[in-house]
Structure 1
Amino acid sequence: MDDVELVMPVLGVEIDEGQMRTWVKSEGDAVTMGEVIAIISTPKLDMELECPATGVLKTILVDEDEMAAVGETLAIIETDEDDDAPA
């Protein structure tokens, strides 16, 4: 199993942080690549954050209403994929 980091995306020019508005999923929930996992807010907009991998939302590192810098890890997703395993 591999861990994939969910990071705060680039939110726009001159915006270097965003607020974690809402987690749509909770720790331990199954998640699918491309589904909305959280809502992030900036002074100008709210943005849906899509899950970067399929697996389980293992650990939330930034709680709702907390600020996070662009590039900061927001959560860890544990995937079922193991690239080193024989096919």
Structure 2
Amino acid sequence: MATEIRVPTLGESVTEATVAQWYKKPGESVAADEPLVELETDKVTVEVPAPAAGVLSEILAKDGETVEVGALLGQIGEGKGAAPAPKKE
């Protein structure tokens, strides 16, 4: 099951941010709470941590894109690959 990476609440009057840079690429392993992506607003720069350990399976908001609070940035898949390994019989 995939874990969603979403834009966190950024402050009282801040409703959107720009994706400054991703620290990981799809297919790379991530640890829980490891910084994954940097967001910039007119007031602050925020690092968004991984909500869970796994593999970065998908980036939905590319560098330079404007995203709103709560928007889906990407997803983390389980294990060493984006899809679960098939069970051996």
Letter in 2 for 1:47: V
Hey, what's the Cα distance between the residues in 1 that align with 2:78 and 2:17? 26
Hey, what's the Cα distance between the residues in 2 that align with 1:12 and 1:75? 21
Letter in 2 for 1:72: A
TM-score by length of 1: 0.88
Cα drift, residue 49 of structure 1: 0.9
Q: Which structure 2 segments of 5+ residues have no match?
A: 80-89
Q: Which structure 1 segments of 5+ residues have no match?
A: 81-87
Task: Tell me which residue corresponds to 2:62.
Answer: 63
Task: Tell me which residue corresponds to 2:82.
Answer: none
Hey, what's the Cα distance between the residues in 2 that align with 1:14 and 1:45? 12
Cα drift, residue 21 of structure 1: 0.3
Of Structure 1 and Structure 2, the greater strand share is in 1
Runs of 4+ in 1 over 2 A off after TM superposition: none
Hey, what's the Cα distance between the residues in 2 that align with 1:32 and 1:73? 19
Size of the aligned set, in residue pairs, is 80
Deviations 1:25-71 (A, max 9, x none): 01111001011111110001111110000000000000001011111
TM-score by length of 2: 0.86
Hey, what's the Cα distance between the residues in 1 that align with 2:70 and 2:25? 21
Structure 1 counterpart SS, 2:2? strand
Letter in 2 for 1:9: P
Which one is further off, 71-80 or 51-60?
71-80
Identical aligned residues as a percent = 32
